């Protein structure tokens, strides 16, 4: 078996690099499926990348290539500057946590034993192991599940335990494949909150998902995949501000103190990403809404072009299809 080879490069700022990666699957006697077609991607340290794309666009294949579970037929994958060849990096100071969509913890163990196995594999022993177990259990809020067998956990519970396993050793790279797939609304919101709490300036996180709302509120960078290629990759702030400039429709935000007035006027609203501001949800021409607000002496705090990840995603995929 081999780990890294002479083609390794000096580790720079990039944690992950894909260079022209090709992966083709054969499906019986049918036409081969080109899962990755010259994939290029560079992820820098500390970024939280949302890997978006429709089912079958190559998100899971990308992650599997990164982990060495799949061997691409073409191109190179680098993790911390080391070429990925089928074995994980041997540097014990650089660990990564993984939550794959279809990989379960050993179903024959209970939650505590499964997490203890992960702790031991990460080098924790005795008191250190207990301490790390407590930390992970507390972070993922799974205190009530410790004595239950993995095989009897619900999907939401299993995802939380899986996230706990991924967090053992406080890895500097976290790879989450469809982390909230199959969860109901409340379980998904709870899980997303867990993930959002993991954000700091040092940890690099990759989240592959087709649930745009999960990505929009969590990630610093957005990568959109289609047909095995990255068709858009940018930091989300630049992406959203540029898109806002290009669009005409406006989002109108007012101070939260006007909530009662809006209710009285029968105007719907919801909390916005800006603290203390609420977003008006009325589907009517802007000037009419502004007139209504003016008559009620409500002054908008912000007016900005209507844009969200869904519109960006649809624009990007439509553009790629045209090409």
Partner 1 sequence: MKSLLTLTSLFLKQLIRRRSLWIVLIVFAAMISVNYFIQSQMEKAIGRGVSFDIATRQAASALQSFAEQIRSYSVFLILIVSALVAPVSRKDGTTQFVLTLSVNRLRLALSQYTALSVLVFATVIIVHVGYVMAARKLGIMSAGEMALSWVFLLIPLMLFSAVIFSFSLSHSAIVTYIVFMAIPYIIIGLAEVGIEELADYVPMAVVRFMDNLKLLFPDIRGLIVWPKLSFGIVSKTPPFPNWTWQIVHTVSASFFWILLGFWFYRNYDFGSRTATK
Closest separation between CB of residue 223 and partner 1, Å?
21
14, two tokens: 């990039």
* Residue 72 or 300 having the CB closest to partner 1: 72
H or E stretch at 225: strand 221-226
283 beta partners? none
By CB under 8 A, name the binding residues for partner 1.
1-3, 23-27, 32-33, 35, 61, 64, 67-71, 73, 86-90, 95-96, 98, 100, 102-109, 117-118, 120-123, 125, 165
* Residue 35 or 293 having the CB closest to partner 1: 35
* Sign of torsion over alpha carbons 175, 181, 183, 188: positive
* Residue 56 or 271 having the CB closest to partner 1: 56
* Residue 24 or 265 having the CB closest to partner 1: 24
* Residue 149 or 306 having the CB closest to partner 1: 149
Closest separation between CB of residue 133 and partner 1, Å?
14
In Å, how far are 81, 231, 266, 267, 305 from 282, measured between CA atoms?
50, 33, 10, 7, 15
* Residue 104 or 242 having the CB closest to partner 1: 104
Closest separation between CB of residue 191 and partner 1, Å?
19
Closest separation between CB of residue 103 and partner 1, Å?
4
Helix (H, G, I), strand (E, B) or coil at 30: coil
* Residue 146 or 320 having the CB closest to partner 1: 146
DSSP codes of every residue in 61-119? HHHHHHTTSS--SEEEEEETTEEPSSS----TTS-EEEE-SS-PPPTTSBHHHHHHHHH
In Å, how far are 56, 65, 95, 196, 203 from 2, measured between CA atoms?
30, 16, 18, 36, 27
What is the rounded CA–CA span in Å between residue 240 and residue 172? Answer: 27
What is the rounded CA–CA span in Å between residue 166 and residue 153? Answer: 17
Closest separation between CB of residue 86 and partner 1, Å?
7
What is the rounded CA–CA span in Å between residue 239 and residue 121? Answer: 40
Are 12 and 31 in contact, with CB atoms under 8 Å apart?
no
H or E stretch at 168: none
Closest separation between CB of residue 289 and partner 1, Å?
50
Closest separation between CB of residue 108 and partner 1, Å?
4
């Amino acid at each position: 078996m081999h780990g890294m080879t002479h083609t390794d490069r000096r580790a720079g700022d990039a944690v992950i690099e894909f260079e022209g990666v090709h992966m083709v699957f054969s499906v019986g006697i049918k036409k081969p499926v080109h899962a990755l077609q010259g994939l290029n991607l560079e992820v820098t340290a500390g970024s939280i990348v949302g890997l978006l794309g429709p089912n079958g666009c190559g998100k899971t294949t990308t992650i599997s290539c990164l982990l060495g579970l799949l061997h691409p037929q073409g191109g190179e994958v680098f993790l911390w500057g080391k070429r990925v060849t089928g074995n994980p990096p041997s540097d014990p100071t650089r660990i990564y946590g993984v939550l794959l969509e279809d990989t379960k913890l050993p179903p024959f163990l209970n939650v505590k034993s499964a997490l203890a196995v992960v702790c031991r594999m990460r080098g924790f022993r005795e008191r250190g192991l207990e301490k790390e177990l407590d930390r992970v259990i507390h972070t993922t809020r799974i205190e009530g599940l410790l004595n239950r067998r993995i095989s009897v956990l619900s999907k939401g519970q299993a995802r939380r335990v899986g996230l706990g396993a991924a967090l053992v050793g406080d890895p500097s790279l976290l790879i989450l494949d469809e982390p909230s797939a199959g969860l109901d609304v409340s379980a998904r919101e709870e899980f997303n909150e867990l993930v959002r709490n993991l954000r700091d300036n040092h940890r690099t996180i990759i989240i592959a998902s087709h649930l745009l709302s999960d990505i929009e509120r969590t990630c610093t960078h957005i990568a959109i995949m289609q047909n095995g290629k990255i068709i858009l990759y940018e930091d989300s702030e630049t992406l959203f501000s540029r898109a806002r400039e290009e669009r005409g429709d406006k989002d109108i935000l007012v101070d939260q103190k006007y909530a009662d007035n809006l209710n009285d006027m029968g105007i719907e609203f919801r909390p916005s990403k800006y603290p203390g501001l609420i977003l008006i949800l009325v589907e009517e021409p802007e000037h009419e809404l502004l007139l209504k607000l003016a008559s009620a002496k409500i002054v908008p705090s912000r007016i900005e072009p209507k844009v969200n990840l869904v519109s960006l995603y649809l624009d990007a995929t439509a553009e790629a299809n045209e090409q």
